[in-house]
Amino acid sequence: MARLLASPAFTRARALAGPLADDSVRLRTLLEQVDRKTFGIGTIDDLHGRLDIDIACSVVEARAEELDEGLGEGVDDLDPTTSARLRLVIAALSYLVIDHDAIPDHRPNGHIDDVAIVRWVTQVAAGHLPPPHDDHGHHGPVAPSSGAPIGAPLDGAVG
């Protein structure tokens, strides 16, 4: 799992998560991309890990609704745990819609990495799995490009 989380594709998805977290239109666009996603074996509906994808989508939909109703704080204003979990969920769904990730999605087994990341993230976000610690006492695996724990804010992230 650590290799997937440190992959260039997940690092890119993670960099997009912060800016996406405060934009309801872009969050809904992400949800539409997830709904339309196809793999070598078929659509999202054909995947064994669909429940975890549905859970992640529900989290993102709830965030978009909060923002639309003016009830949502900026992601940087949330408590650190909530912010990190939200960013992870958004990053996982962003990774899911990337076609050329660790295992290219057009291959018959191209969905395995996507489902693994979404499953791991939903378990971490739900508090069922503790995020791993790095050597500096940070929670979560460290992203190689930033040195920050995965789920932590990235300076200069663009979306």
Distance CA 95, CA 27 (A): 14
What's the one-letter identity of residue 142? V
Give the DSSP letter of residue 42. E
Task: Please name the residue ranges forming H helices in the chain.
Answer: 2-5, 8-21, 24-36, 50-68, 80-97, 112-125
The percentage of the chain sitting over the pLDDT mark of 70, rounded to a whole number, equals: 79
User: pLDDT tens digits for 23-42?
Assistant: 999 999 999 999 999 888 88
Task: Report yes or no: 115 and 52 within 8 Å, Cβ to Cβ.
Answer: yes
Whether 20 shows a pLDDT value over 50: the answer reads yes
| Residue in the structure block whose two tokens are 């994808």 | 53
Q: Note the pLDDT of residue 151.
A: 43
Q: What are phi and psi of 14, to 5 degrees?
A: -65, -40
Whether 65 shows a pLDDT value over 70: the answer reads yes
130 exposure class (CB count in 10 Å sphere: 0-12, 13-18, 19+)? exposed
In terms of pLDDT, which residue wins out, 148 or 130? 130
Task: Report yes or no: 38 and 130 within 8 Å, Cβ to Cβ.
Answer: no
User: pLDDT tens digits for 103-131?
Assistant: 888 888 878 899 899 999 999 888 766 65
Give the three-class secondary structure for 38.
Answer: strand
pTM equals 0.78
Kindly state the average pLDDT of the residues 90-100: 93
Give the three-class secondary structure for 6.
Answer: coil
- What is the distance of C-alpha 76 from the center of its chain? 16
Task: Report yes or no: 57 and 34 within 8 Å, Cβ to Cβ.
Answer: yes
Number of Cα atoms under 13 Å in the Cβ half of residue 36? 8
